[in-house]
Structure 1
Amino acid sequence: MPLKCELDGESCFSFTYTASGWDELKAVRKERDLRMSCCGKKAIPKTSALGTQFFAHARRGDCTSGQESREHLLAKYLIAKGAHTAGWQVDTEHRGITPDGETWIADVFATKGNAKVALEVQWSPQSEQETRRRQQRYRASGVRGAWFLRSYRRYNPSFLSILSEQATPSFVISLDESGHDFQVSRFQTTLSCFVNDLLSGAIQWGPKPGEQGRAGPVVLEDYCWKCRRLTGVVASLALEDSYGIRRGGFDYDDPRIRNDLIRMVSDPNLKRQHQIGELTHRFSRTERSSYFSNGCFHCGALQGRFFIRDALLEVLVTHDPDPVSWHTFEFSEELANELGSWSRIVWHDTNNSKADI
């Protein structure tokens, strides 16, 4: 069920037609020369039960072109439509070859200037090793690639692994309630809109090593177990990248951010305003050892980390708490690799052909 055919000797793509334009093509098909690109036989414009506009053989005959599921075809159609809307030149079932002579076929192939992107729908199960192998094949051909993977309810650690890789951009899709469109998980947008954003540069990987973002201490209030007075406790360090996207946070006692956190809460005025006690090593009778801890602002007594983490989890159920102050922060290679993910940035240039993929 291809998305392209030859119309009066010229390439014709179903995703470039509006619904009314598609109906007009159906009405005049007998007066036009419509031929399948795969075999040159007569073609008929059709619409699937899911609303996909595609071309079918008038008579199948001996053509050996492969069949695909309705869901795979719909996803491919929506991806091609999104790429076309973004201003890219689009082809489907595009054939290429690596320098080593290995042939590949891209579901959707988009070009703009010197940029080349293969957009793949993977509706059937495929191992992460095979996905990486096929991605490397595109890379060897000077083509960037992005993968749209079917959402499965079953937990699959390998599946989650590839979703956190910059080298193999992969995104989860699932049919919406109407059954006629796809949603891109985590981005809460339709597939066509997402592809438009992806190719326009609005979907970016971050943070990158050496990127200048900002960080700030998250401070909660609690009553000191010893003096019973209200004190501020530093619960975590919140991080944002250079686009202002929240990149999670770290426990206050994580050794990788400890020195940064101590520096950020060293200002006397900040301590006084939020009643923040000293962050230092203290001996815990409960744990019978010393550890990096919060102290009460008033009496200096150790505030147990178990209770602080429990209080933070209660807050995180409803929202990401804002830090009491922001400070310039540079993402190390280690932290950038740990926190890296694909996100939509607020600003993007729709004429940009330098998508981050």
Structure 2
Amino acid sequence: MPLRAIVDNEEIISSFLTKEEWVELTRKVKLNSLDVIICDTDRKGVLKINKNGTQYFAHKRGEKPENWKPENIKIIDIKNQVLLGCNDAGWNSISEYIYTDLYIDIVATKNQHKVGFKIELTSSKLSEIENLQEKYKANDIRVCWLFKKPPKEITNYDDSIQANKEIPSFKLIENEQKQLKVQLNQHNLNIREFISSLLSRKIKFAPELKAKEAQEIEVHFFKHICYNCGENQHAYFIEETLQSICGIEIYIGNSMWNSDSLKYHPNIVNSVLNYEKSEHGSHLKIGEIKERYSRTTRSSYMSFGCYKCDALFGDWYLQEDIREAKLYGSEEIIYVEIESIDLKDHSFHWCYSETKNYCNQ
């Protein structure tokens, strides 16, 4: 059902009227026998409100065009939220935009910029979407797609949508209360909030994830027996993910034979040594962390070693103890603040930041 009509020579967008204004307009139309002309079809209509409280226009009996298919209630509610989000961001917007053979659910304008929004609740073919996107682009309209059932070609293994700068696409998901939200990385945003954030440039395409420079790292201690002298002692591993600037997890793993690994960051090494000297960590026995020569790799690299005989603890041979610690629990955990992390991961994504601090700055 449309949200835009002409009443008494004035274009009305139902979303922008308060409940009181809608009631007054309904009274005015009835009292003065005014025609309500639906912009989408140029046919006569009436004012209505659906069960969710969304105001809209519907065709009068006998005024529906041939082969007219009314939109379902979800489409109406989504369009309403998109319009309100555009308004919140300070953009002008209209629904049911028609230009030559193009139809766009919502088009927002500001200065010389035009942004469209297409809502798809049923399955769509990627080839058709690509063709439409080219037409919109040729008419200087950048269109964003909201999918309930995105094409499989742009769907990730976890059912999220791949980030694509040329065809901005986002998934609509339903929560337990049957409310539709926009899935944006780890966030599920209200449609209105999402649209406002997008048009306010709080959401931006980025080709890579960049870790926050300062964050807290979990350091997990585990037991290990020296293969050379049989002495019981400890080593440690760090959590395998960091937070990006926009809050997405970056998987770093626990790389082997790498002297530049984050686990050897001076802040972590110094914090571990200080903790070992403290009352709480005095039971830990940790050998010197330094470069040692490995016959396996035929090179020297930063490594753990025996606190008693200084034998190298090869990264490969520590993996079984690390797996057990992850499965059954670490011996102990400390948290270390690091303020100089410089790590990037090639990953297309939509960077969301209330402060406009993006991964690709």
Tell whether 2:139 aligns with 1:135. no
**CA distance in 1: counterparts of 2:161 and 2:58, whole angstroms:** 35
Render the CA deviation track for 1:188-222: whole Å, top value 9, x for unaligned.
Answer: 3311111111111222333648x785387753211
Code of the residue aligned with 1:121 in structure 2: it is: I
Code of the residue aligned with 2:313 in structure 1: it is: A
**CA distance in 2: counterparts of 1:133 and 1:291, whole angstroms:** 56
1:232–1:297 contact (8 Å) kept in structure 2:
no
**CA distance in 2: counterparts of 1:169 and 1:23, whole angstroms:** 38
Code of the residue aligned with 2:95 in structure 1: it is: T
1:202–1:348 contact (8 Å) kept in structure 2:
yes
Code of the residue aligned with 1:326 in structure 2: it is: E
Q: How does 1:233-272 map to 2 (within 5 A)?
A: 233-236=237-240, 238=242, 240-241=244-245, 245-253=247-255, 258=258, 260-261=260-261, 265=265, 269=270, 272=273
Taking structure 1 as reference, are residues 136 and 184 closer, same or farther at Cα in structure 2, changes over 3 Å only? same
Render the CA deviation track for 1:111-139: whole Å, top value 9, x for unaligned.
Answer: 11122111111101013343333333333
- TM-score, normalisation: structure 2: 0.73
Mean CA deviation greater in 143-152 or 186-195: 143-152
Q: CA deviation at 1:251?
A: 1.1
**RMSD, matched Cα:** 3.9
2:241–2:249 contact (8 Å) kept in structure 1:
no
**CA distance in 1: counterparts of 2:251 and 2:110, whole angstroms:** 38
Q: Which runs of 5+ in 1 are unaligned?
A: 98-102, 316-320, 350-355
1:293–1:304 contact (8 Å) kept in structure 2:
no
Matched pairs, number: 324
- TM-score, normalisation: structure 1: 0.74
Render the CA deviation track for 1:218-250: whole Å, top value 9, x for unaligned.
Answer: 532111233332322245462533x6x344221
- 1:116 corresponds in structure 2 to 114
Taking structure 1 as reference, are residues 184 and 42 closer, same or farther at Cα in structure 2, changes over 3 Å only? same
- 1:295 corresponds in structure 2 to 304
**CA distance in 2: counterparts of 1:313 and 1:346, whole angstroms:** 37
**CA distance in 2: counterparts of 1:150 and 1:313, whole angstroms:** 37
Code of the residue aligned with 1:135 in structure 2: it is: Q
2:120–2:149 contact (8 Å) kept in structure 1:
no
1:95–1:105 contact (8 Å) kept in structure 2:
yes
- 1:326 corresponds in structure 2 to 339
**CA distance in 1: counterparts of 2:113 and 2:60, whole angstroms:** 36
Q: CA deviation at 1:282?
A: 5.1
Render the CA deviation track for 1:130-163: whole Å, top value 9, x for unaligned.
Answer: 33333333333322221111168xx956422743
- 2:29 corresponds in structure 1 to 29
**CA distance in 2: counterparts of 1:49 and 1:62, whole angstroms:** 22
Code of the residue aligned with 2:273 in structure 1: it is: R
Q: How does 1:161-200 map to 2 (within 5 A)?
A: 162-179=161-178, 181-185=179-183, 186-200=186-200
**CA distance in 2: counterparts of 1:63 and 1:184, whole angstroms:** 33
**CA distance in 2: counterparts of 1:178 and 1:46, whole angstroms:** 24
**CA distance in 2: counterparts of 1:293 and 1:66, whole angstroms:** 68
Q: How does 1:14-93 map to 2 (within 5 A)?
A: 14-30=14-30, 31=32, 32-61=34-63, 63-64=65-66, 65-93=68-96
1:166–1:341 contact (8 Å) kept in structure 2:
no
2:259–2:302 contact (8 Å) kept in structure 1:
no
**CA distance in 2: counterparts of 1:60 and 1:281, whole angstroms:** 88
**CA distance in 2: counterparts of 1:57 and 1:18, whole angstroms:** 22
Code of the residue aligned with 1:327 in structure 2: it is: S
Q: CA deviation at 1:88?
A: 0.8
Q: CA deviation at 1:13?
A: 0.4
2:43–2:64 contact (8 Å) kept in structure 1:
no
1:6–1:12 contact (8 Å) kept in structure 2:
yes
- 1:214 corresponds in structure 2 to 213
Q: CA deviation at 1:41?
A: 2.8
2:86–2:199 contact (8 Å) kept in structure 1:
yes
Tell whether 2:212 aligns with 1:204. no
- 2:10 corresponds in structure 1 to 10
**CA distance in 2: counterparts of 1:106 and 1:281, whole angstroms:** 65
Mean CA deviation greater in 51-60 or 157-166: 157-166
Q: Which runs of 5+ in 2 are unaligned?
A: 276-285
Q: CA deviation at 1:91?
A: 1.1
Q: CA deviation at 1:345?
A: 0.9
- 1:100 corresponds in structure 2 to none
Taking structure 1 as reference, are residues 41 and 246 closer, same or farther at Cα in structure 2, changes over 3 Å only? closer
**CA distance in 1: counterparts of 2:132 and 2:324, whole angstroms:** 44
2:124–2:149 contact (8 Å) kept in structure 1:
no
